[in-house]
Amino acid sequence: MSTEAIERRVQASFAQTFRALERRLIALLDELHEQDGLLVSDQFNLARLDKTIRLLRVDLSAAGYDSAIQDQLAGIEEIKDAILAESGKLNLPEEFGAESESMLSMLAQGAEEELLTVADAAAGAVAQALRRAAVGGLKLTDLILSIAATLDIYEGQAKTLVTTTLHSLHSSVRVKHFTDAGVEWFLYAGPDDDVTREWCSHFVGTRVTPAILEEHASEWGREGKTPLRPVTSWRGGWNCRHELIPLLGKGGYREGPGK
């Protein structure tokens, strides 16, 4: 399966999760006592809101957040399999080095931790909105809108994390794997258009080695960024659209940088 297909699948699980949580919260708000659109600060309401706030993180899990993370981890495994299949096509050894495996688990663990942080922040922000409503001043309809907007922001964060993680993972695992297998040259492939970063525009369409990229790691718009992001996963910048494709020999491409 391609990285894009895995990405779409994981993004869909996160969208489903956040919609489910929103429905649960709205159903809960429906049961509260209100007067003129404002929450009544009676014991029933306060106890119920308090219980929800305590259960928010659990609610997120129940709504599917944990399984969306599992989905992403499964996607990471699929990327590994896809790379192995690709190496078979190029007649390269199919064995992943122990180092590649450990790098993969390290990156997967990092991705999982970041996604859990997003869940905590989302639960915290919704809890804050509920507390504000409980002390009055916020209409129930506004509270619902505010919760929906908050969840949208965190859903967006989770999705962006998925995109960047899967892409940089695919890129660095692939380069590492093919370098271990003896591949010297990679094609710096992808679009060369108005939004192409300056750094990328120097390499698009040429053959490069990780060492050549490393040599220019702090030039053409990449300077002054500390710590310097790794060239094989970060390339020209965050969410770079370019890819490093392994070549058999020199593949008939001129050596980069080309400009």
Residues that bind Zn ion (CB under 5 A): 200, 236, 240, 242
Shortest separation between residue 239's beta carbon and Zn ion, angstroms: 9
Distances (CA, A) of 198 to 194, 220, 225: 10, 6, 15
| Nearest CB to Zn ion, comparing residues 202 and 242 | 242
| Nearest CB to Zn ion, comparing residues 94 and 223 | 223
Shortest separation between residue 219's beta carbon and Zn ion, angstroms: 14
Q: Tell which phi-psi region holds residue 136, choosing left (phi > 0), alpha (psi between -120 and 50) or beta.
A: left
Shortest separation between residue 244's beta carbon and Zn ion, angstroms: 11
Shortest separation between residue 2's beta carbon and Zn ion, angstroms: 18
| Nearest CB to Zn ion, comparing residues 29 and 169 | 169
Shortest separation between residue 185's beta carbon and Zn ion, angstroms: 18
Q: How far apart are alpha carbons 199 and 185 in whole angstroms?
A: 18
Using alpha carbons, select from 156, 166, 152 the residue that is nearest to residue 239.
Answer: 166
Strand partners for 188: 244
| Nearest CB to Zn ion, comparing residues 207 and 242 | 242
Buried b (16+ CB within 10 A) or exposed e, 146-180: bbeebbeebbebbbebbebbbbbbbbbbbbbbbbb
Dihedral, CA of residue 90, residue 217, residue 253 and residue 195, to nearest 10: 100
DSSP count for the chain of H helices, then E strands: 8, 5
| Nearest CB to Zn ion, comparing residues 80 and 202 | 202
| Nearest CB to Zn ion, comparing residues 151 and 212 | 212
Shortest separation between residue 240's beta carbon and Zn ion, angstroms: 3
- Whose structure tokens read 């494709």? 245
